[in-house]
Structure 1
Amino acid sequence: MAVTLLANEVLDLCLGKPALRSLSVTDTVADALCVLKRLGDSYVSVWSCHHSSESGDPTNRSVGGAAVDCRCVGKVCMVDIICFICQPENLLAPAQALQSPISVLIPKSSGLVRHLEPSARLLDAIDLMLEGTQNLVIPIPESKFRKNKLLEEKSSLDSTFHNNCRRYCWLTQEDVIRFLLNSIALFSSTHSEPINSLGVIDAENLLTVNYDDPASSALSLIKESLIHQSSVAIVNPDGQLIGEISPFHLNSCEETVAAAIATLSAGDLMAYIDCGGPPEDLVQLVKERLEEENLTGVLELMEEESGLSLTSWSSFTSTSSDEDGLSSGKNGKHGGYSARVVRRSEATVCYPWSSLVAVMIQALSHRVSYVWVVEEDGSLSGIVTFSGMLKVFREHFKVMA
């Protein structure tokens, strides 16, 4: 019975997950950028406390000389930084903008990140996620011996160990969906029903931009897609899905892709961020337009960060995979399309008659939190997100409880 899943504690879903590295609200955007690029992580957690391996007693770290509780107040990814640099005033002086406090990247009251005890029920986690939470911060249980050993070995302490002698991991919607998929046989025939019969297709909140529209016009949509864990669809005048500007892809880019967003069309940006690096003709176009618009600061930042000329710069990192397993988003190889010929198959798509379990598998296998819904002619008709899937299972739990 599916109701037996309700007995699971969230800790059961966290086994083997790595401890979160942390930054402090007193750190800068540049600090976050450094961590993301050096460690290859997709996200870095931001905390009210401050931790450094060079500090003294790890149980008495503080901000501004006053002891504070260790609370995760948000998370930051490369897309946050890219969108921040894309602001008109920051395009004029990107190096200066990077010295801004990291707090400028964190919504003040979004609730995207929340703490939850490891003994909480799976149902509690799902309810919080349906309220808009993306990441649940879970304490990692450790023995007293382990804690004492960490305290003794101060030289080995890093940003994963907090002043309350605890380390944390986080639980995502993807983790919950994967767990439910592994137990899908308990959900009667729900998993085999077509998504258009389950009310899981969202046709009202689609984020779309025309292929020929300026990429900068999609900036607010990119920010919104990051909050809702969806994507921005690129469509032609007939409403057919051509491709997408996906936060998943952008998260694998260097921060200097902001230059492409500021100067290219949406369609060209889609090609620019795909296939492991920008095509030569688009690189030259970006360079020319940066010079025309006197955005020399962005150009200088690109060359300084890459150590290469603009013509050989790659928009993708090639570091090792991050600890959450998102290696497919870091190697820059997405089997994509050329600068001028794009294929709708690049976006992960399904049909209204696709089964729920098939859509779940698609999303998980592509490591995205959504699947576009298209008709036979390729016209975009909706989107299915992890949040929508969780609603279906939550309703099923109500019936079974």
Structure 2
Amino acid sequence: MAVSLLAREVSDVCLGKPALRSLSISATVGDALWALKRFGDNYISVWNCDHNLHLTSPEADKVDDECRCLGKVCMVDIICFLCKEENLSNPATAFQAPLSVLIPKVPGVVRHLEPNASLVEAMDLILEGAQNLVIPLETSYGNSRKKLLQENALSLADSNLHNNRQYCWLTQEDIIRYLLNSIGLFCPTPNNPINSLGIIDTQNILAVHYDDPASSALPLISQSLQTLTSVAIVDNDGKFIGEISPFTLNSCDEDVAAAIATLSVGDLMAYIDCGGRPDDLVQLVKERLQERNLEQALELMEEDSGLLSGGNSFSSSCSSSTEEDLWVGRSGRLGGYSARVVRRSEAIVCYPWSSLVAVMIQALAHRVSYVWVVEEDGTLAGIVTFAGMMKVLRERLRSMA
């Protein structure tokens, strides 16, 4: 059975995944913001292609031969970008910046992989540092491509076709979910406590204190987005209070940048909670923006800011979420540091003696790629990530081969 799992192709894991929506690297930050809100996607892929040839050109069949995905952008990238002082003072100009400013200059974060590659090959790439694998969907567009585009009067830049193909992301979550379906093959490893498997990371914890300025967490927020983790919030005794999660920030709009620039960490946690923004914090953000003469940033707080081209109007509150999307809190004891802090978006935690399979299920159930590890008294002990889980399962596969 282990041999069968080793032979699985990544196309098996990609079944039913939607095609990537894409933008050219020549687009702007404003284009990315518009696309994220227009289509409701969590991420937009960014490609380096030459889409300038006309559909009827004799060279049209040669377009995209060298298309490569350079990365992806999300609302968190835009929020962190707007938080820079020069951008917060002039958001309209910031939206005209090239999209390339949002793409991290880290090699190997995004890797292309053919659909017939093995699942183990995909796991090894992720363990080497790849965050997302770009996989062609097994649908042929070659001969019908120009006809399809001509009938819909689309340009190559709008088609989301690259190298005559559509692509999807293969994420760490996809692989862990797939492995969970065959978890019995890995026994007894999945039943062992995580503290016996050496996967609790105690060194690379991103953490800030409750009373710190939220702006001090910006570098950590950007880092957590790249490492697919989160920023822990602790008190002076090291007790875990909550987190600033890219998952939560990604469901908010760009005006959150104003809150990050003006609030404390604890107040920001309440501000971005999807249970609703406290009116007193909204007023406090506006007052502090006025004190700093950030009048254009204040416009981001208004529903009809009209900063984007075309006069698009967007809500400035957290995006609506289903109950399935909301994070379920573990206990009032760990999250009850403040009466208005950490309501429905409380962080997910486990204990050092929790089993690997229990932590896997916990993370997958809440659609997060990590689980915080706390001691019985609530002290933050570390973090367990999908990458750490995958490493243990990969080693188990290697021992069975």
Work out whether the TM-score is over 0.5: yes
Is 2:348 the partner of 1:351?
no
Structure 2 counterpart of 1:29: 29
Structure 2 counterpart of 1:391: 391
SS at match of 1:109: coil
Alpha-carbon distance between aligned partners in 2 of 1:203 and 1:211, rounded to the nearest angstrom = 20
Moved over 6 A (4+): 335-339
- Counterpart residue type for residue 391 of structure 1: K
Kindly indicate whether the alpha-carbon contact (under 8 Å) linking 1:271 and 1:340 is maintained by their aligned counterparts in 2: no
Alpha-carbon distance between aligned partners in 2 of 1:193 and 1:334, rounded to the nearest angstrom = 26
Alpha-carbon distance between aligned partners in 2 of 1:163 and 1:184, rounded to the nearest angstrom = 36
Note closer, same or farther for the CA distance 1:334–1:281 as it changes in structure 2 (3 Å cut): farther
SS at match of 1:242: strand
Alpha-carbon distance between aligned partners in 1 of 2:59 and 2:351, rounded to the nearest angstrom = 55
Kindly indicate whether the alpha-carbon contact (under 8 Å) linking 1:70 and 1:162 is maintained by their aligned counterparts in 2: no
Alpha-carbon distance between aligned partners in 2 of 1:335 and 1:390, rounded to the nearest angstrom = 24
Kindly indicate whether the alpha-carbon contact (under 8 Å) linking 1:231 and 1:246 is maintained by their aligned counterparts in 2: yes
Note closer, same or farther for the CA distance 1:95–1:328 as it changes in structure 2 (3 Å cut): farther
- Counterpart residue type for residue 84 of structure 1: F
Instruction: Output aligned runs, 1:112-127, within 5 Å.
Output: 112-127=109-124
- Counterpart residue type for residue 110 of structure 1: P
Instruction: Output aligned runs, 1:197-236, within 5 Å.
Output: 197-236=196-235
Alpha-carbon distance between aligned partners in 2 of 1:160 and 1:386, rounded to the nearest angstrom = 33
Alpha-carbon distance between aligned partners in 1 of 2:211 and 2:315, rounded to the nearest angstrom = 25
SS at match of 1:303: coil
What are the Cα deviations for residues 23-81 of structure 1, in whole angstroms up to 9, with x where unaligned?
000000000111111111111000001559x952499569xxx9761110110011000
Kindly indicate whether the alpha-carbon contact (under 8 Å) linking 2:136 and 2:166 is maintained by their aligned counterparts in 1: yes
Structure 1 counterpart of 2:332: none
Instruction: Output aligned runs, 1:2-401, within 5 Å.
Output: 2-49=2-49, 56-57=55-56, 69-143=66-140, 147-154=142-149, 155-156=151-152, 159-303=158-302, 305=304, 314-318=316-320, 328-329=324-325, 334=327, 340-342=339-341, 346-401=346-401
* Structure 2 residue ranges without an equivalent (≥5): 307-313, 330-334
Per-residue deviation at 1:397?
1.7
Kindly indicate whether the alpha-carbon contact (under 8 Å) linking 1:306 and 1:313 is maintained by their aligned counterparts in 2: no
Note closer, same or farther for the CA distance 1:276–1:38 as it changes in structure 2 (3 Å cut): farther
Alpha-carbon distance between aligned partners in 2 of 1:58 and 1:305, rounded to the nearest angstrom = 42
What are the Cα deviations for residues 106-156 of structure 1, in whole angstroms up to 9, with x where unaligned?
01233221100111111110011011111111111224xx54334312234
Structural RMSD (CA)? 2.7
What are the Cα deviations for residues 322-350 of structure 1, in whole angstroms up to 9, with x where unaligned?
xxxxx955xxx556789744359811000
SS at match of 1:299: helix
Give the TM-score normalised by the residue count of structure 2. Answer: 0.89
Note closer, same or farther for the CA distance 1:110–1:278 as it changes in structure 2 (3 Å cut): farther
- Counterpart residue type for residue 88 of structure 2: L
Give the TM-score normalised by the residue count of structure 1. Answer: 0.89
* Structure 1 residue ranges without an equivalent (≥5): 322-326
Alpha-carbon distance between aligned partners in 2 of 1:78 and 1:58, rounded to the nearest angstrom = 36
- Counterpart residue type for residue 170 of structure 2: L
Kindly indicate whether the alpha-carbon contact (under 8 Å) linking 2:301 and 2:316 is maintained by their aligned counterparts in 1: no
Alpha-carbon distance between aligned partners in 1 of 2:342 and 2:3, rounded to the nearest angstrom = 42
Alpha-carbon distance between aligned partners in 2 of 1:341 and 1:28, rounded to the nearest angstrom = 37
Per-residue deviation at 1:91?
1.1
- Counterpart residue type for residue 35 of structure 1: A
- Counterpart residue type for residue 84 of structure 2: Q
Alpha-carbon distance between aligned partners in 1 of 2:262 and 2:342, rounded to the nearest angstrom = 23
SS at match of 2:92: helix
Per-residue deviation at 1:170?
1.4
Aligned length: 383
Alpha-carbon distance between aligned partners in 2 of 1:335 and 1:286, rounded to the nearest angstrom = 28
- Counterpart residue type for residue 99 of structure 1: Q
Alpha-carbon distance between aligned partners in 1 of 2:386 and 2:305, rounded to the nearest angstrom = 35
